[in-house]
Amino acid sequence: MVERFGRARSFGAALLALALLTGAACGPAKTPTGGAPSAQGGQASAGDAKTLTGAGATFPAVLYSKWFNEYDKAAGVQVNYQSIGSGGGIKSISDQTVDFGASDAPLTDEQLKDAKGGALLHIPMTLGSVVVTYNLPGFSDALKLTADTLTAIYLGEITKWNDPKLVADNPGLASVNQNIVTVHRSDGSGTTAIFTDYLSTVSPAWKQRVGSSTSVNWPVGVGGKGNEGVAGEVKQNQYAIGYVELIYAIQNKLGVALLKNKAGKFVEPSVASTTAAAAGVVTTIPDDLRVSIVDAAGEDAYPIAGFTYQLVYQNMTDRAKAQALAKLLWWETHQGQQYCADLGYAPLPEGIVQKAEAKIKAITAGGQPAFAAS
């Protein structure tokens, strides 16, 4: 158990080291040709709102907490964010009860059509890994899972830790004659959307029987609310397995599985392997920035990764809030990126930042741009 806890801490240390090594890459982005919004990262203008509200994904909540604290100090704008899950974030922005929603799952065409305030924009914030975390007393090795074994566990086809299919990659499990307790999200979740998107991509059986969404009918298992709820269930239940964003496994000192990627290599989740998963997306991402990067090609790519988005209306009626929101979004996608790596998130690739800039500049209030380029 001590060795497993030490391994979880080593992930955190590795992330901190990578943050220092790649500081230039994940620091503030250079101001692009064409100008930046006024008061970029500085004090809000007199006409800007001083408070903003948001709700949604728990996946990036640790990063958002850091961001909003730093932004309040830098710009004097307080951001009140409720970490209620991507499903709640989509509903909140669709019903216009918040200034921005947050989701790890891109909205479907139907969800976009149902939004009450008109056209919704997807602004990518960061990249993260959905990791498979576990509580295995007495097992000190790194758990290795393939697409087949992971899918079989969540379909209820593999029910024991000493199943021969698991032992083939993990000889140390031969003596662990214990039932597997599977844990999943009980709420509508972008983390679930990424996880089930992966399972649907690698398993025709999963795609046909369960599918992918922010909420699915799980064949087996117990539910936990939010990433923190799933991490808590895994921590409290011996021989449990679940899926969470990387930082939640680190904070709870839980084991993190190595997953076999498309190239046939067992890869650990990290900032580097998450970045590798997004490497091929910059030139192929659709104009609306809705994209899946699960089961990505590349030897170093971690297979369960995704963007997390903030959802904002392109045309807002409250100019003071539109101006404040546009500046917040710009800060997050530029200066805010310096805080990503040491919290377990991958900074946005430069090409994605540039595409996000275009979306932010498209935000209007009363038909006028929400901010003027300086």
SS3 track for the chain: CHHHHHHHHHHHHHHHHHHHHCHHHHCCCCCCCCCCECCCCCCCCCCCCCEEEEEECCCCHHHHHHHHHHHHHHHCCEEEEEECCHHHHHHHHHCCCCCEEEECCCCCHHHHHHCCCCCEEEEEEEEEEEEEEEECCCCCCCCEECHHHHHHHHHCCCCECCCHHHHCCCHHHHHCCCECEEEEECCCCHHHHHHHHHHHHHCHHHHHHCCCCCCCCCCCCEEECHHHHHHHHHHHCCCEEEEEEHHHHHHCCCEECEEECCCCCEECCCHHHHHHHCCCCCCCCCCCCCCCCCCCCCCCCCCCEEEEEEEEECEECCHHHHHHHHHHHHHHHCHHHHHCHHHCCECCCHHHHHHHHHHHHCCEECCEECCCEC
At 229, give phi and psi (nearest 5°): -70, -40
User: What is the rounded average pLDDT for all residues in the chain?
Assistant: 89
| Inter-residue contact 189 to 172 (CB < 8 Å) | no
pLDDT tens, position by position, 59-76: 999 999 999 999 999 999
| Inter-residue contact 292 to 202 (CB < 8 Å) | no
pLDDT tens, position by position, 165-213: 999 999 999 999 999 999 999 999 999 999 999 999 999 999 999 999 9
pLDDT tens, position by position, 296-329: 999 999 999 999 999 999 999 999 999 999 999 9
Least trusted range by pLDDT, from 47-56, 77-86, 279-288, 323-332: 279-288
Number of residues that this document lists for the chain:
374
Is pLDDT at 100 greater than 80 in this prediction? yes
pLDDT tens, position by position, 38-60: 445 445 677 899 999 999 999 99
Residue 200 exposed, middle or buried by CB count within 10 Å (0-12, 13-18, 19+): buried
At 372, give phi and psi (nearest 5°): -100, 140
Q: Please list, in sequence order, all residues whose beta carbon lies within 8 angstroms of the beta carbon of residue 355, skipping any fewer than 6 positions away.
A: 124, 285, 289
Domains annotated for the chain, with CATH where assigned, are 2-9+129-277 (3.40.190.10), 29-128+287-292+306-369 (3.40.190.10)
Is pLDDT at 372 greater than 70 in this prediction? no
- Give the pLDDT score at 22: 37
Strand partners, 179: 160
Cα separation values, 34 from 41, 288, 354, 357, 374, Å:
17, 21, 11, 10, 9
Strand partners, 245: 130
- Give the pLDDT score at 43: 56
| Inter-residue contact 147 to 203 (CB < 8 Å) | yes
| Inter-residue contact 107 to 120 (CB < 8 Å) | yes
Least trusted range by pLDDT, from 32-41, 140-149, 249-258: 32-41
Is pLDDT at 153 greater than 60 in this prediction? yes
